[in-house]
Amino acid sequence: MQPYSRYAYRAVMHAAINAGWNGRLAGGAFIDDKGSLLTADSADIAGQNLTRVFIRRLDAKGQEEIITAASANLKMDANGKTVTMDLRDGRRIARDANGEYRNLAFNSLTTQTPLAAAAVLLRDRGGDERELTLGELAKQAKSPNPVVTKGTLLSELYGRLARAAFLPFLPLLAFPLGLASKRGNRAPGLVMAGLLLLAFQHALLLGQSLAKADKVAAGPAIWIPFTLFSGFAVWLFLGSRTRPGDTPVSRLVRRINNLVKRVLQALPLPKRQPA
């Protein structure tokens, strides 16, 4: 389901970012489209009754004009393409054909503003290999004209399969580390488990990156790390069967602790200053 949800998320984000203006305005918000700017200090819940309005736009001749008003009312027209604004108690400043400024004070002014059209829909699903399902990845990898490179498709396919196939090996890691926690080694076991999972994830990501760059074949780049980590899980489990709780990991941690203690003991102690 992740390929579908990933594409759906991108489609929603694309629609939200590129959506056109719906004829309503929140207080303090800015509507900026094709050189036109509209803002208001405050607005009602519906976003149609505004106070302290500021408008900057181009007139029919391409000249810039500024409109300010104490209040305004927005109403979408029946055609759904324009918004009628009833402005009250304001000023309109613009340039005439001679380049002179015109300053018009008004009690009531009605003007129309076109609605910005929404952007085109997002491309069809499948432009990114992460948007393809397992079956689609395998099908595209066999296609003579895939949507992306074959190495990219195979690395994504093998990466998903490797992560799924590694799940049965997780108990082989959990059992020895869980038994070790009963002997007072909980923290080292948890740290080691987290590092192993993190290393496995980054090893797969590295293999996928190398396969996408066509530096290494997708099969070895993914399945070699999988074999190493799954083999380590089996070795760790087998090594803990003789003495439960005494795993190779716990023995390694004890050696590191002993080494740190020896180093600390070898360091000279600070001299105490007389009171």
How many residues in total does the chain contain? 275
The span from the CA of 252 to the CA of 53, in Å, is: 71
262: left (phi over 0), alpha (psi -120 to 50) or beta: alpha
Q: How far apart are CA 221 and CA 203, in angstroms?
A: 9
β 64-76/30-33 pair status: unpaired
3-class secondary structure per residue, 49-94: EEEEEEEEEECCCCCEEEEEEEEEEEEECCCCCEEEEEEEEEEEEE
DSSP per residue over 138-199, as a string? HHHHHSSS-SS-HHHHHHHHHHHHHHHHTGGGHHHHHHHHHHHHTTT-HHHHHHHHHHHHHH
Q: Which residues pair with 91 in a beta bridge?
A: 68, 105
Quick one: how far is CA 150 from the chain centroid?
A: 26
Per-residue CA distances from 7 to 3, 12, 126, 148, 220 (Å): 6, 9, 8, 16, 29
Instruction: Work out whether the CA dihedral 260, 266, 272, 273 comes out positive or negative.
Output: negative
- Which residues have a Cβ under 8 Å from the Cβ of 133 and sit 6 or more positions away? 3, 4
Looking from the CA of 225 toward its CB, the CA atoms found within 13 Å total 23
pTM for this predicted structure: 0.59
With beta carbons less than 8 A apart as the criterion, state whether 106 and 128 touch: no
Tens place of pLDDT for every residue, the chain, 275 residues?
Answer: 889 998 888 888 877 766 556 667 777 877 776 667 888 888 887 778 889 999 888 777 777 889 899 998 888 777 767 788 899 999 988 877 777 788 889 899 888 877 655 455 567 787 788 889 999 999 988 888 887 888 899 999 999 999 999 999 988 888 777 665 555 555 666 777 788 899 999 999 999 999 988 899 999 999 999 999 999 888 888 877 766 656 666 666 667 667 777 887 887 766 666 65
pLDDT of residue 223: 95
Contacts of 164 by beta carbon, 8 Å cutoff, 6+ apart: none
